[in-house]
Structure 1
């Protein structure tokens, strides 16, 4: 997050000699305390959430304790707007501009897969791209950072036709469609690889059809929303939670082995007997808020307050 100009004093806690807290930082701490104590919530409760690096607004403390924590530990990362203490964050500027969507300012002028890539990176990267475009609106002033590079590569894959003259599929859309068919019909990996290889040979020369499952999966994983593979018990009674159970090699209840030995490429490897696939919730919520199509729906309850005596949504029940 870019540091606001009026909060840069929150960054450097120690003075030039590194032996005492900087006067500018102390002034920022007292400014925070004065602002937070002026809020109605503090006047009722008498305590505040402590925004130091240790408490991270999870613990309520007295004002004196909070100022001590902030002097010793500093503010938690990226807390430049005191949203947990009554301050409102300034609205994020719209990134639907000629730079973010190239020559057109209309999102619907792009295909579904280009929109998918733009929604995946969110508005923060769009702002970065706008800042890097030169005055002519064509060239980027400097080499993009790694996150921006991923965006450009994905956008290129979403725009590149599968072969010269192809209008129905791009490299990205073909990979997504192929993976979707594999999932829908439970096609084995070997069958999928053979099918992709055949399609690549059958299409015109210099086509962009990916030739195996590994490359197809790698081409779409940059869109995010991945999953976490967790080792678990054969009977479903426990999971191996990393890093607590990292070195545990047998089930605590039944005593059965966690791994089995298999031979792959001439080498003996240990693989788990059973895995559980976990889909993290937070990245999916972030995607719903970053997508221009769903963000307004996610804010609906906040922006459309109804009469409490009427049911306007299942959650009201």
Structure 2
């Protein structure tokens, strides 16, 4: 059995085919309701999850490179396994095996780790992910042979749009061209559809009209006002036009959802707590030095 794929880059055709083979192997031996051991790099077969969760974990965290014989999933010990390709250096002792690292996909790595943290935090809270579609897109290559998945590709497109100040109309035309030229990639054909990806992860923003002189925000109690109550300036570029266009807009990124998402991860919360306790201890030591040291 060829197991060289476990060291391939995540989302590559080789890795995707290998994961599909593993899941097919598991489904032949377990029912859809069974919890099986997870061979991802985080769980290391120490935790059991549903088949779907195991499938997600393997893509998000990578495969444990030392688990080449699937004995925890019903495979015989005497099965002939091919762990290394012809151009790979075979390790000579156990330390080499433990230290083998998965090749980093520099294009996807940071974004995939972000999704993995969100997924882990949601699992710890026992909630259902709201970004299921994003998660599925992150597990598959954009197209055969691509080193990027759909989600990071769209995030980078949106970053380019913002950085170079591409208009919404021009960006939508660009997306329409891409989606029509590469239909198998399932790319959105408009700017509004692309923005939904950020909203799925809680990275969206609110648009709030602002007085042209920065007096007030047309928000909450002032949402329906057409004139600034302070300077009496009109809210609109052309107040008589059929489609009113605000003179100035504020893009508000809510802080609370971001803090909740950041500290929903147990590891992040514990690390933050440790730094806080350490800082308090140092401040107390400086304020009340130990006897004999004052």
Provide the aligned C-alpha RMSD in A. 3.4
- 2:195–2:204 contact (8 Å) kept in structure 1: no
Q: Which residue of 2 aligns with 1:284?
A: 258
Give the TM-score normalised by the residue count of structure 1.
0.51
After superposition, residues 1-317 of structure 1 pair within 5 angstroms as 97-99=47-49, 102=54, 108-109=61-62, 111-120=109-118, 123-126=121-124, 128=126, 147-148=128-129, 150-163=130-143, 165-203=144-182, 205-242=183-220, 244-261=221-238, 268-291=242-265, 294-304=268-278, 305-308=280-283, 309=285
Which whole-Å CA distance do the structure 1 matches of 2:267 and 2:125 have between them?
A: 18
Q: Which residue of 2 aligns with 1:57?
A: none
- 1:232–1:240 contact (8 Å) kept in structure 2: yes
Q: Which residue of 1 aligns with 2:5?
A: none
* Greater relative contact order (Cα < 8 A, sep 6+): 2
- 2:211–2:248 contact (8 Å) kept in structure 1: yes
- 2:207–2:250 contact (8 Å) kept in structure 1: yes
Which whole-Å CA distance do the structure 1 matches of 2:239 and 2:136 have between them?
A: 40
Which whole-Å CA distance do the structure 1 matches of 2:113 and 2:237 have between them?
A: 44
Q: 1:292 to 1:210 in 2, by over 3 A?
A: farther
How big is the shift at 1:296?
3.8
- 1:120–1:291 contact (8 Å) kept in structure 2: yes
Q: Which residue of 2 aligns with 1:52?
A: none
Which whole-Å CA distance do the structure 2 matches of 1:161 and 1:105 have between them?
A: 15
Q: 1:195 to 1:249 in 2, by over 3 A?
A: closer
Q: How many residues end up aligned between the 2 structures? A: 193
The worse-fitting range, judged by mean Cα deviation, of 119-128 and 277-286 is 119-128
Q: Which runs of 5+ in 1 are unaligned?
A: 1-94, 130-146, 312-317
Q: Which runs of 4+ in 1 moved over 6 A?
A: none
* SS, match of residue 206 in structure 1: helix
Q: 1:293 to 1:173 in 2, by over 3 A?
A: farther
* SS, match of residue 281 in structure 2: coil
Which whole-Å CA distance do the structure 2 matches of 1:121 and 1:251 have between them?
A: 44
How big is the shift at 1:253?
2.4
Which whole-Å CA distance do the structure 1 matches of 2:58 and 2:270 have between them?
A: 19
